[in-house]
Amino acid sequence: MINVKDVERNYQTGETVVKALRGVNLDIGKGEFMSIAGPSGSGKTTLLNLIGCIDKMDAGEISIKDEAVSKMKKKEKTNFRRKYLGFIFQTYNLIPVLTAYENVAFVLSLLNVNEKEIELRTMAILKEVGLEGMEHRRPGKLSGGQQQRVAIARALIKNPEIVLADEPTANLDSNTGKEILELMKRMNKKHQTTFIFSTHDQMVMDYADRLVILHDGQIVSDEKR
């Protein structure tokens, strides 16, 4: 479903060019629960951002669902993300003035789904992630784990093909992190959604069905379990 071919990404820092990705090749199938691991600066977030269509590559090609996203214009990429991609961030990135319900429902509003369906789907997903009864709480009134559950619900509400999670457990204690991983695994099995994580958390690596290890912008290991 996702084909990454000879992808390169360079960053200019002053006069120095940092090669974040050096000719990365990767095929990811539908419904995979996969982790991209590696030390800091290895290029895992860069790879995740490129698959997520929020960054531009310097060379190579990425296609998702047979569409060459690397050749898409800004507007097309935005529409693609809107339809097919969900994001989960390390710091949850919820909108603080909106309630848990509104944060999740907002995604469906972007897709012009009618209010009745929004309500049904939002309530269902919040129940699924274990936030029933907390719909009207704003992020400030939720724990870190609860906020990440809202973020997961937000990523999954539109039934995306792919969910990209950048260090999803980094801000959580190990028990909560485990709960979150189990929740994502459950969602992966139930909805056949492809999950791709970037992480240096061993627990996340252990949960993954496939572990790709990056080092200095290159894949050094690709292990299916």
Partner 1 sequence: MTTKLAKTALRNISRNKRRSILSGTAIGVSAMAIVFLFSIIGGMTEDMAFNLKTYYTGEVRIRNIDYDKYERYNPLHLTVDWESVKDLLVDIEDIDKFVPRISFPANLYIEGSNFGAMGVGANFSLEAGFQDLDGSLKSGRLPEKGKNEMIMGAVLARDLKLNIGDKVTVMSTTAARGTNAITLKIVGLFSFPVGALNSKYFWLPLDRAQYFLRMNGGVQEVLIKVKEGVDPKKAAASISSVITNNTGKTLDIRSWEELSTSYGLMKMADMIYNFIAMFFFLLGSTVIINTTMMVIFERMREIGTLGAMGMHGKELVRLFFFEGTFISMIGAAVGVATGIAITLYVGKVGLDFTDAISGMDFEVSSILYPKLSIGKTIFVYFYSVIIAAGATLIPSKKAAKIEPVEALRYV
> Using CB under 8 A as the criterion, which residues of the chain lie in contact with partner 1 when the complex forms?
49, 52, 54-55, 75, 78-79, 81-83, 85, 87, 89, 91, 93, 95-98, 102, 106-107, 109-110, 112, 154
* Residue 132 φ then ψ, to 5°: -60, 135
CB of 225 to partner 1, least distance (A): 29
Which lies closer to partner 1 via its Cβ, residue 89 or residue 191?
89
Which lies closer to partner 1 via its Cβ, residue 38 or residue 52?
52
CB of 93 to partner 1, least distance (A): 4
Q: Give the C-alpha separation, 28 to 105, whole Å.
A: 29
Burial 33-64 (b: 16+ CB within 10 A, else e): bbbbbbeeebbbbbbbbbbbbeeebeebebeb
Burial 170-189 (b: 16+ CB within 10 A, else e): ebbeeebbebbbebbeebbe
Three-state DSSP state, 61: strand
Which lies closer to partner 1 via its Cβ, residue 18 or residue 95?
95
CB of 89 to partner 1, least distance (A): 7
Which lies closer to partner 1 via its Cβ, residue 67 or residue 206?
67
Which lies closer to partner 1 via its Cβ, residue 55 or residue 209?
55
CB of 44 to partner 1, least distance (A): 14
Which lies closer to partner 1 via its Cβ, residue 93 or residue 178?
93
* Residue 191 φ then ψ, to 5°: -100, -5
Q: Give the C-alpha separation, 203 to 62, whole Å.
A: 29
CB of 201 to partner 1, least distance (A): 19
CB of 49 to partner 1, least distance (A): 5
At 181, list the tokens.
């991983």
Beta-bridge partner residues of 197:
35, 165
